[in-house]
Structure 1
Amino acid sequence: MTDMQADRKNKMGLAGIILCTVMVLLGSSGAAQIANGADHASEQIQLDEFEPYYSEVLAAWEQASFRNASESKLSIPGTQIINQISGDDALSGSYNGKSNVLIWKKNTIEYEITVPQDGLYHMNLSYHPFNDSTTSSLNRRPIVLSVAIDGKFPFKEARAITFRRLFKDEWPIKKDRNGDDIRPRPLEIKQWITEPFTDSVGSYAEPLKWYFSKGSHKISLTGDQAMVIESLSLLSPSQIEPYEQVLQRYPAEQIKLTGDAQVIQAEQMSSKNDVAIQMMADKDPYSLPEAKGKEIFNSVGGERWAKGGQTITWTFNIQESGQYKIAMRAFQGFVSNMTTFRTISIDGKVPFEELLSFPFTYASNWKGIALEDSNEAPYEFYLEKGDHTLEMTATAAPFQPIIVQSERVTGMLREVDQMLKSMTGGVIDKNRTWKVAKDFPQLVEKLNRIHTELTHMADDMLQANKRRDITLQMIETSVEDLESYLKHPDEIPYKMEEISSLQEKMGGIKETLVKAPLQLEQIYIVPVDVDFPKMEAGLWRKVTSTVSHFFYSFMKKDNLSDLDDKALNVWVNRGRDYVNLLQELSDEMFTPEYGIRVKVNLLPDENLLIYANAAGISPDVALGQPQDKSLDFAMRNALVDLSQFPDFQQIAQQFAPGALLPFYYNNGYYALPETQSFKVLFYRKDILKRLGLGVPDTWDEVYDMMPALQQNGYNFFVPSSDFITFIYQNRAEFFSEDGMRTALDTPDAFKGFKQWTELFHIYDVEKNVPNFYQHFRKGDMPIGVADYNEYMKLSVAAPELTGWWGIAPLPGIPQSDGTIARWSSGGQTTGFIYKSSPRKEEAWSFLKWLLSADVQERYGLDLESFNGIEFRWNTANIEAFTRLPWPKDDLHVILEQWRWYKEMRILPGSYFVSRELNNAWNRTVVDGMNYRESLEEAVVSMNREMMRKGQEFGFVDSTGSVLKTLNGPVVTGPWDGVDTYDAE
C-alpha cells in the first residue's frame, strides 16, 4: 500500500467502516452502491482486524435512523433448517419431554426467515444442552455459536455468542477430617432454556440487536458442541424504563409492611451458569457461618465471579405483597479504586434501567451495599406474595467504550511501531538526524490522532469508574508522553522503544477492564419501612474476632510432620482444591477396593521435600513434583526403583517412551508422569488466509513464509529457550551412549544448534517475547510455537477468536522414509515413592491406581466440574487424555505431536546443559560469535561439570577413569502407542 493510499484510508476513519458494514446488511443493492462509489473498499479492513464492535455498528444503525421493530414475534421451529454441512450432524427427534426438536451435534446449520418490516430485532433461542453417554464429559462447557446473517458477521461479537448451561452445588457440604468444608460437586440442571443472543464476555448489559431488512434472510449457526434446539425467534426489543417511571406504576394503596429482614445466604445459590463460580471461605467476623479457625464456605464469588456473563440465581419467598428494598454484604477490594458492575434481575427481568449496570465501588473491607440511587435513597421493588428469583450477572458494559478505544489505539500504535521500524531498520541511532515533520508527516498525524483518542479515553474512564484508578493514571501518563514526543517530532525515532512499550500498556487495558470480581456473603430483602440489619462489623467485633483468630491459629491441623502410622501418607504439591478432591476420590474409590487408608496432605512448597527428607520426615508418596526432582532424590538413594515391581513395564506402556527418559537412572526408573504438557503450532486462520499463506509443515516452509510475514509487519514466534526441539529433530542426542559426557559435539548437534540460533539472527524471529498470548490475540504474531498453557488461555480468555485460530503439529524436518520428524519436549509433573516408606507395596498400588486411565479421567472431569475449563487436567495417561473434553480436531493434532514427545535425560551434572546452551545462544545471537565456536565452548563446560558430578556420585574416580557407566534407553522413532487412541 502506498503512503497516499494509507493516508486516504486513515481519513475515511472508523465511521466509514461501520457505514459500509451497515450498507452491506441492507442487501445486495446497498453493497453495489458502495462498490460503485468507492472501488478501494477492501482497504478499509486491516489484515489483523475483524468486523467492527457491536457498539460501533449499533451507533451507525441509529445514526442511519434504523429503529426497533414494532411489536412482533417471528418463530422458526428448530427442525426447520434449510441446509447443513454434514447430512447427519442435525436430525429431528425427541428430547427431555419435547418432540420434533433438532438434535444438533456440530458444524453449521442454516435457517431462513421472512421478515415483514425493516428494523432492529432481538433473537432468542429455546434450547437444551445435549447429553448422552458419548458426550457426558462435555456437559460442563458453555455452548459457543458463531452467528452469520446472509453469510456475513454483522459485528465482531457475532463470532462468539454464548449459551450457557445451568448448575447447582451438591448439598449438604461434606467436611474433611479437620472439620474444613470440602468443595461440593456441581450438578447440571437439565432443563429447557430460553435465552437471548448475548455477547460472550458481558460487554453489554442488554441482549444484542440485529438489523433485518424486509424480506427473506438466512441465519447461519456454527458450533462444535451438541445442543437441542426447539425454536429460533425474532422479537421486537423490549424497552427498560427508568426507575421513576416504574415507581409510578406501583399500586397507590398499599399495606404498611412490618417484620424482620429475609436473609439469603449468598453461598446457597439455587443455580449458576458457570461451574467456575465457587463458594468462598471468609473469616470476617460478620460472615456466617463463622469460620472459628476452619475453612468454612460462607460466601460466594470473588475472582471466581469476575467474567462477564457469569450469573448467580437465588430464590426467596415473599409472605405478603408490597414494596421491598434490597441490600447485601459485599466485598469489592480486588483492584484498587476500580468499580465492578452487575446486571440485576428479578424473576428473569431487569426491573428498571438503573439496574442494567449497578456499580459496586471499591472498598478494602466488607460493606453493606443497598440497591439505591446516587442520593442514597434505596430503590423500592413491588413484589407479589410467593416465590421469586434474584439474579446477578457480571458485566463490563460501562467500560466497553474504553475497551473499544484501547483496541483502536493499540492498532494505531502498532502501525506507528511498524513505521518506525521501517524508517530506522529497528535500530536507534542517535547520531542520525531526522526531519520527521517534513519527510514523514503521516507519522506525526497518526500520533496526534492517538493523542486525541487517549484524551477521550481518559474522560470516558473517569465518567464510567467515578474515581481515579491505575488505569486512568496510565492513560493520562501516556497522554503526557505523547505530548512530549509531539513537541519535538524529529526525536520521535529515538523513542521507538518507549512507543513499543506504550503499545503493550494499551493492549493490557482490556484485560483489566473485562474482569469484574465481587464477593457476596448475605442478601437482605426488607420491607421499605423497616431498617436494614447491621451489615458491617464494628470496632469491638473486629477486635474480638482478631483475638479469637489468633487463638484459633494454635489449633492443631494436619502438618507435614504429622504422619499417620496407620495410613498411606501422600504429599501433593498443588492447591488445596486438588488435595481435597484427591482425598475424596481416595476415600471413595481406593480405600474400599484395596483396604488401604490414605491421608493426603498439601505440600505448599516443593523445596520442603528436601528439608523434610534431611530431617528424616518423608511421606510414602509425593505427587505434583517437577520432572527433575525425582532424579535429585534418586541420585542420593532416597527413592524406590519402580522397575523392581513386576508389573512396572505394563504400567509404563501407558506413557510415551520419550516421557520416561528423565526418570531413568543407574538401571532403574524412579518416577512416573502425572501431567504432560505439549508444544504445538498455533496459527491465526484469518491472518494467514489474508496473506495467502498456508500452515507450514516443515522448517523450510517456515523460512519461505517469513518474508511475507515480516513485510506485512508480522512475525513468527519460537521460544528462545527451546533448544530441545532443534537438537532432537536433527537426530542428535544430548549425551553419549554411556551417559558420561555430552554428545553435543557431533555434526548433527552442530546442525541443530545452527538451526536454532539462525532463526533469531538470520530470520529475525523476536529474541524476547514476554507474552506470546497477547501478541497472538492482537494479531502481530499470528503464528508460533507454544504449549498447553497458551491453549487454555486462548480457549478460556479469547472467545472473540473462536473459530479463528487453530493448532497444528510442530514444523519438522523431512526424513529419508518420507516422515517428518517433529521431536519436541513439553514438561511434566511426576509422582514417586520414598525408599524410607514402610509401605512400598501399598504405595505402588496407590500410584498405579491414581495414574490409571479411569481414575485420571474421573479426576480430570471433577476438577473441571468444580473449577471450570481453565482447570483442564492435562494427564500424561494417553487413554485418559482422549476421554477428556478436547475438541476432536485439536485432539488429533495433539496426539500426532504426542508421537514425537521426547524429554532430555537427567544425569549427574546435566543441569549444566541448559545453562551452557543458553549461554551459547547469547554468544551467537547477541554477541555474534560463530555458532560452532560458541557451542564448542559450551561443550567443554558441560563435560567438565559432568565429570565433577560423576566423581561426586562414584561413577568416576579421582583420576578421571570411568568406574561405571550410565547407559540408558534410547528413543529413535515415534511412539506407535498413539495410534490406538487417535481421534480420527
Structure 2
Amino acid sequence: MKPFCLRITAAGAMAALLLAGVPAAGAAKARAAEAPEEPALPSVSASSYLDYAAQAAGVPDGGEEIILPAPDGEWALEAGERAEWTVSLPQAGRYRISLTYLAQSQQGQSPAVTVLLNGETPFEQSGGLALDTVWVDDGVTQTDNRGNQLQPDAREEARSHTMVLRDNSTVHDGELLLALPAGETELAVEAAQPLVLYEARLLPPAETPSYQEVSAAYPSAQTGAVWELEAEDLAERSDAAIRRQNDQSDPSVSPNSPRSLLLNTVGGSSWKQPGQSITWRLDVPEDGLYTLSFRYRQDLVAGLPSFRRLLIDGSLPFAEMQAVAFPYSSGWRTLTLADAQGEEYLFYLEQGEHTLTLAVTLGEKGDFLPAMEESIQFMNEIYRDIIMVTGVNIDINRDFNFEEELPSLLPDLEALREQLTATREAIGQLQSDGGDQASGVLGDILRQIDEFLKRPSRIPERLDRFRTNISTLSDIFADMQEQPLELDVIILAGNAAEPEERRSSLLEKLWFRVQIVAYSFVQDYAAIGSVYGGGEPLQVWINTGDILSTGVASGRDQAQILKDLIDEDFSVSSGIPVELTLTSVGDSLMQASLSGVGPDAAVFVPEATPVNLALREVAADLSDKEGFEEMREWFYPSALIPYTLGDGVYALPETQSFYMLFYRTDIFESMGLKPPDTWEDFLDVTAALQKNNLEVGVPENQAVFEMLLLQHGGAVFNDDITEITLTTPEAVAAFTQWTDLYSQYGLPLYFDFFNRFRSGEMPMGIAALSFYNQVAIAAPELRGLWRMVPVPGTAGEGGVSRAQSASGTGVVVLKGQREDDAYQFARWWVSAGTQYTFGQELELLMGTAARYHTANREAFEKIPWTQEEREAITRQWEQTTDIPQSPASYYISRSLTNAFRAVLYSQRNPRETMLRYNTDMQKELERKNDEFGLSAGGA
C-alpha cells in the first residue's frame, strides 16, 4: 500500500518533539535567550530528546489546532506502512501530536508508531512510541477448592482510542511536542503493528489551570457522604501485566483471611513502568466537594516517593495532579491529597458515575534522571579511557602520567563532579528516612573524584572501586525509573465528612499471625490451585530449579499460570483433572519414580534426566504414541536429540536455548569495527580490542568446545554411541582451538560478563540467549547501544558453519496406569497455543526479564522479539544441533573439564591430552553400556 499524503495548510506552526514540563539545561536556556527573531530549529536526527529539546527552546508555541484526517474517515495501516501529510505553516512553532486509532497488541507487543519529519526521525525516542491499549478482566475472579483466589484472565478491548503521544520508554515520560519550520514539512506516522488510523491532530502545548484557579469557581456545597472502593475492583488497565496482589501482613487490609490467599490489593511491582495506568469507576452518591484518599504501601524503592498522574473522567482536574507523590512507606498508610501546607484538595463531582485514573509518571524524578543517565554514560567513558591506558589488569607498581597520556582526564573529572553534585542535591530533596543509598553512593563517587584530582597517580589502585560504584549507580538508576505502588482502598469523602482511618492494633496483628502459622500446618503450600481427593487427578510435578537456569524465573506465580491454563483449557477439553505440585525435581524424580511414588508426568525436567530415567525403564517411550510424528514438525530436529535413546524418545521439548554473540554498537562504531562473521574475524576484532586494553568474553565451558567440534564437522560419539570419537583430526583441532582462546589469545577464564559488558571493558562476548533478558531489563542505560547476532562460524566448503549444541528442558511421561493421560497432557503442554500463552502470561507478569525460550517453532514466532532479533535468533537456531545423551555423559563432561585444565594450567600438549582422556572416556562408556545392556545405537 502506498502512503496516503494530504496537504494541510494552517496558520499555526510545527516543531520537533519536546518533553512537556522538562526544564532545559542551563546552556539551553542561554541559547533560548539569545535566539534571533527567526527561531533556531533543531537539527535533523538529534541524538536524544533532551538535545532536541534544548535546540528547540527558542521555538514559540503553536497556535490553533490542526486536524490531519485519514482518507474516507479511516485508514488501515499494515506494519511498516506510513500515513503522510504535507503541512504548510506560516511560522515555526511547537505542537503535541494526538492520534485517534484502533489497534490491538500483536504477539504480546503493545502497538507502537514512529514519527518522522521529512522522512527522518528527529531524535532517538521518536521511534517506537507506544500507543495506549485497554485491558479488562475476562470473567470474574475465580476461587479454587481451597479458598485461594486466582488471577482473572485479562482481555484486550477492541475499541478506538485518542491519545497524545508520550515517550514512556526512557527517563523522559512527558508529552512530546513537534516543532516544524515555517513553510512545508512532510509529517509521517509509521505503524509498527497493524492499526486503523482515524485522524491525527496537532495541538498547542497544554496549559492546565492551578488548583487555586479551579477551586475559585467551585460552588458552595457541603456533603457528609463517604464512599469507599476496594482498589482491586478496578475497571480497566493499560497493561495486562498489572496484577492484583495478596497481602497478609496486616489484618486491616481488606478483604483478608489467615487461611486463604485473597487478592486484596492491586499494583505493587507489577505497576511501576511510566505510562502504565489503572482506571476505576466512582459511583458518586451526591453532588458536592470531595477529598480523595488512598490507602497505599510503597516499600520497594527505599526512601523515595512514587509518582502518579491523576485524571478524573480522562482529564487533569488541575495542574497539581500532574505528579502526585506517594512517599516511601514500609507499611500501610493513608494519603489524603493535599498541598505542601497540608491543605486538602477538594474535587467537585456531580452525582453519578465518574472515572478515576492513576498513571505512572516520573514526577520530580524527571528533573534529575536525565542528568543521572548522562553522568553514568560519562563515567563509563572515563573508565574506558583510563583502562585503554592502564589495561584491565593494572600493574599498580607502574607509574602512569595521565596528564600526558590522557590530557582530557582531569577536565572530564571536574565536569563529572559538577554533574554528580547537582544530581545528589536533587535526590536529597526527595529522600525520606531509609533512602540514603543513592546519596551514599554518589557521595562515595564524589570523594573518589576529589582523590583522583588531588593525586592522579593513585587512580590505578582505586579504579576497581570506581568501576564497582559505576555498576552500583547504574542499578540505582534502573530502580529509580520504576515507580511501584500498591493500593488497598480508595476513599471519596465529602468535605463535611470525617472518615475513619483503618488501623490494626499490635494485638490484632499478633493474633492474625498466629492464625496464619496454625493454618500452615494443615495447608499444602506445595500444591498449586485446586486439590482433588483420591487417585483420580493426574499428578504433575513442576520443577522449580531448572526454570531459573533456562532464563525463566521460578516460583508460585509461574506455576499458577500453568495451573490456570490446565484448569481452563486442558481439563475442560480432556475431562482429566490435574494436580500440580511445585518441587525441585533433580534426583527426587528418579528416586520417587523408582520407589513407585512418583508423578504421572513432570515438566521443566533438565535434558540429562529423561535418558537416565529411560535407562532405568521408568520413563515412557513417546515415539510410538499417536500423533508423535506430527509433533516432530513442531520443533527443530535438534530439540529431540538429547531425549532420544536408540529408537525411543523419552521427553518432549519445552524450552531450548543456545549461544549468541553480543556486542556494544557504540564502542564498535567508535573503533570502526564490525561484528565478526567467522572465528578468524573474531580473533581480528579481539586483537583490535585488546590493543585498546579492552577484553572479549567466551565462556570456558563444554558447550564452547562442542560448538567448535560441530563446526569442524566432528562428533563426540560414533553413530551407534558405542565409541568416543574425540581423537579424530576434527576433534583435536576443535580442542586445540578451544584451549588456544585462553592460552594463546589471552581471553579471561573467569569474568562477570554482564557488568563488564555494561561498563564497556568487555564490549563483545558469547553468552546464552537469556543474556538478552538480563541486559534489556537490568541495564536500561544501554538501550540502543548493543546488538545480538549469531555466533562466529567456521568457513568450509559448504559455507560458514555456525553449528552448536543447545540446552533446554522437556516434559517427561512416566510409565504407569495413567501413561496415556499423561501423554495427552504432555502433547497439549508443548503445543504452539499453550506454549505461546504460557510465555505471554509469564512476560506480562514479570516483564522482559522472564521472556520464555520455547522450543516450539510456531510459538516462537509469536513472542515479541523485534524483527531484527527474530531473524538473528532464527539464523542461529536453524544451524543449532545437539549432542546425544549416553549413560557416560556425566563422565565425559568431567573428563573434558580435566583435559581443558591440564592444557591451561599444566601446559600439556592438547593432542596428547585428548588422546589420554579419550581412552578413559571410552572405558567408562563401555562399562555403562554393559551395565544397562545397550547395544549399537543405544538400543
Q: What residue in structure 2 maps to residue 100 of structure 1?
A: 74
Contact 1:21 1:154 in 2 (8 A): no
Q: What residue in structure 1 maps to residue 315 of structure 2?
A: 349
Contact 1:340 1:517 in 2 (8 A): yes
Q: Give distance in 1, aligned partners of 2:794 and 2:438.
A: 47
Counterpart of 1:237 (choices 205, 212, 215) is 205
Q: What residue in structure 2 maps to residue 476 of structure 1?
A: 443
Q: What residue in structure 1 maps to residue 19 of structure 2?
A: none
Q: How does 1:366-405 map to 2 (within 5 A)?
A: 366-405=332-371
Q: What residue in structure 2 maps to residue 115 of structure 1?
A: 89
Contact 1:679 1:810 in 2 (8 A): yes
From the superposition, tell whether residues 227 and 326 of structure 1 become closer, same or farther in structure 2 (CA, over 3 Å): same
Q: Give distance in 1, aligned partners of 2:30 and 2:901.
A: 51
How far does residue 757 in structure 1 lie from its aligned partner after superposition? 4.0
Secondary structure at the counterpart of residue 396 of structure 2: coil
Q: Give distance in 1, aligned partners of 2:878 and 2:581.
A: 35
Counterpart of 1:66 (choices 54, 59, 69) is 59
Q: Does 1:901 align with 2:901?
A: no
From the superposition, tell whether residues 769 and 406 of structure 1 become closer, same or farther in structure 2 (CA, over 3 Å): farther
TM-score with structure 1 setting the length: 0.82
Q: How does 1:306-317 map to 2 (within 5 A)?
A: 306-317=272-283
From the superposition, tell whether residues 608 and 73 of structure 1 become closer, same or farther in structure 2 (CA, over 3 Å): farther
Q: Give distance in 2, aligned partners of 1:348 and 1:74.
A: 22
Q: Give distance in 2, aligned partners of 1:555 and 1:750.
A: 60
Secondary structure at the counterpart of residue 498 of structure 1: helix
Q: Does 1:602 align with 2:582?
A: yes
AA at the equivalent of 1:384: E
Contact 1:141 1:165 in 2 (8 A): no
Q: What residue in structure 2 maps to residue 96 of structure 1?
A: none
How far does residue 529 in structure 1 lie from its aligned partner after superposition? 2.1
Contact 1:626 1:829 in 2 (8 A): yes
AA at the equivalent of 2:268: G
Q: What residue in structure 1 maps to residue 909 of structure 2?
A: 933
- Give the gaps of 5 or more residues in structure 2: 1-23, 545-554
From the superposition, tell whether residues 588 and 198 of structure 1 become closer, same or farther in structure 2 (CA, over 3 Å): closer
From the superposition, tell whether residues 405 and 750 of structure 1 become closer, same or farther in structure 2 (CA, over 3 Å): farther
Q: Give distance in 2, aligned partners of 1:19 and 1:701.
A: 48
Q: What residue in structure 2 maps to residue 661 of structure 1?
A: 641
Contact 1:18 1:60 in 2 (8 A): no
Q: What residue in structure 2 maps to residue 825 of structure 1?
A: 805
Q: How does 1:206-355 map to 2 (within 5 A)?
A: 206-251=174-219, 254-259=220-225, 261-283=226-248, 284-355=250-321
Of stretches 525-534 and 806-815 in structure 1, the one that deviates more from structure 2 is: 806-815
AA at the equivalent of 2:187: I
From the superposition, tell whether residues 298 and 640 of structure 1 become closer, same or farther in structure 2 (CA, over 3 Å): same
Q: What residue in structure 2 maps to residue 358 of structure 1?
A: 324
How far does residue 294 in structure 1 lie from its aligned partner after superposition? 1.5
Give deviations 1:313-337, integer Å, cap 9, x for gaps: 1111223222111111111111332
From the superposition, tell whether residues 600 and 955 of structure 1 become closer, same or farther in structure 2 (CA, over 3 Å): same
Q: Does 1:572 align with 2:554?
A: no
Secondary structure at the counterpart of residue 267 of structure 2: strand
Contact 2:660 2:790 in 1 (8 A): yes
Counterpart of 2:930 (choices 943, 955, 973) is 955
How far does residue 173 in structure 1 lie from its aligned partner after superposition? 1.1
Q: Does 1:789 align with 2:770?
A: yes
How far does residue 643 in structure 1 lie from its aligned partner after superposition? 3.6
Q: What residue in structure 2 maps to residue 727 of structure 1?
A: 709
Q: What residue in structure 2 maps to residue 195 of structure 1?
A: 163
Contact 2:720 2:937 in 1 (8 A): yes
Of stretches 565-574 and 587-596 in structure 1, the one that deviates more from structure 2 is: 587-596
How far does residue 298 in structure 1 lie from its aligned partner after superposition? 1.4
Q: Does 1:747 align with 2:693?
A: no
Q: Give distance in 1, aligned partners of 2:194 and 2:786.
A: 21
Of stretches 484-493 and 107-116 in structure 1, the one that deviates more from structure 2 is: 107-116
Q: How does 1:81-100 map to 2 (within 5 A)?
A: 99-100=73-74
From the superposition, tell whether residues 942 and 426 of structure 1 become closer, same or farther in structure 2 (CA, over 3 Å): same
From the superposition, tell whether residues 432 and 18 of structure 1 become closer, same or farther in structure 2 (CA, over 3 Å): farther
Root mean square deviation, CA, Å? 3.8
From the superposition, tell whether residues 883 and 434 of structure 1 become closer, same or farther in structure 2 (CA, over 3 Å): closer
Of stretches 892-901 and 782-791 in structure 1, the one that deviates more from structure 2 is: 782-791
Counterpart of 1:78 (choices 55, 70, 74) is 70
Q: Give distance in 1, aligned partners of 2:309 and 2:803.
A: 50
Q: Does 1:842 align with 2:821?
A: yes
From the superposition, tell whether residues 100 and 484 of structure 1 become closer, same or farther in structure 2 (CA, over 3 Å): closer
AA at the equivalent of 1:812: G
Q: What residue in structure 1 maps to residue 141 of structure 2?
A: 173
Q: Give distance in 2, aligned partners of 1:878 and 1:955.
A: 38
Give deviations 1:688-746, integer Å, cap 9, x for gaps: 66765555432233334445556678765544434132222122222455546643333
Of stretches 384-393 and 702-711 in structure 1, the one that deviates more from structure 2 is: 702-711
How far does residue 545 in structure 1 lie from its aligned partner after superposition? 1.5
AA at the equivalent of 1:623: V
Q: What residue in structure 1 maps to residue 508 of structure 2?
A: 541
AA at the equivalent of 1:449: A
From the superposition, tell whether residues 28 and 471 of structure 1 become closer, same or farther in structure 2 (CA, over 3 Å): closer
TM-score with structure 2 setting the length: 0.86
Contact 1:170 1:187 in 2 (8 A): yes
Contact 2:138 2:152 in 1 (8 A): yes
How far does residue 872 in structure 1 lie from its aligned partner after superposition? 4.6
Q: Give distance in 2, aligned partners of 1:684 and 1:845.
A: 46
From the superposition, tell whether residues 19 and 736 of structure 1 become closer, same or farther in structure 2 (CA, over 3 Å): farther
From the superposition, tell whether residues 445 and 754 of structure 1 become closer, same or farther in structure 2 (CA, over 3 Å): farther
Secondary structure at the counterpart of residue 422 of structure 1: helix
Q: Give distance in 2, aligned partners of 1:947 and 1:214.
A: 83
Q: Give distance in 2, aligned partners of 1:855 and 1:593.
A: 13
AA at the equivalent of 1:264: L
Q: How does 1:557-956 map to 2 (within 5 A)?
A: 557=524, 559=526, 564-573=534-543, 575-591=555-571, 593-603=573-583, 606=586, 608-609=588-589, 612-613=592-593, 616-643=596-623, 645=625, 648-665=628-645, 668-682=648-662, 693-706=673-686, 717-721=697-701, 722-723=703-704, 724-736=706-718, 739=721, 742-760=724-742, 762=744, 767-772=749-754, 784-792=765-773, 807-816=788-797, 818-835=798-815, 837-861=816-840, 863=842, 872-915=851-894, 917-918=896-897, 927=905, 930=907, 933=909, 936-937=912-913, 940=916, 944=920, 947=923, 951=927, 953=928, 955=930
Q: Give distance in 2, aligned partners of 1:708 and 1:219.
A: 43
Q: Percent identity?
A: 27
Q: Give distance in 1, aligned partners of 2:900 and 2:34.
A: 54
Secondary structure at the counterpart of residue 337 of structure 1: coil
How far does residue 125 in structure 1 lie from its aligned partner after superposition? 1.4
From the superposition, tell whether residues 671 and 163 of structure 1 become closer, same or farther in structure 2 (CA, over 3 Å): same
Contact 2:141 2:152 in 1 (8 A): yes
AA at the equivalent of 1:224: A
Contact 2:605 2:810 in 1 (8 A): yes
Contact 1:420 1:426 in 2 (8 A): no
Q: What residue in structure 1 maps to residue 4 of structure 2?
A: none
From the superposition, tell whether residues 942 and 912 of structure 1 become closer, same or farther in structure 2 (CA, over 3 Å): farther
- Give the gaps of 5 or more residues in structure 1: 1-12, 35-41, 43-49, 80-92, 94-98, 131-136, 957-961, 970-984
Q: Give distance in 2, aligned partners of 1:20 and 1:682.
A: 40
Q: Give distance in 1, aligned partners of 2:129 and 2:849.
A: 19
Contact 1:760 1:766 in 2 (8 A): yes
Q: What residue in structure 1 maps to residue 410 of structure 2?
A: 444
Contact 2:475 2:779 in 1 (8 A): no
Contact 1:203 1:397 in 2 (8 A): no
How far does residue 375 in structure 1 lie from its aligned partner after superposition? 3.4
Contact 1:672 1:830 in 2 (8 A): yes
How far does residue 514 in structure 1 lie from its aligned partner after superposition? 1.0
Q: Give distance in 1, aligned partners of 2:933 and 2:35.
A: 79
Give deviations 1:416-472, integer Å, cap 9, x for gaps: 333333323444223323444466443223223323322222112112334542122
Q: Give distance in 1, aligned partners of 2:211 and 2:762.
A: 48
Q: What residue in structure 1 maps to residue 18 of structure 2?
A: none
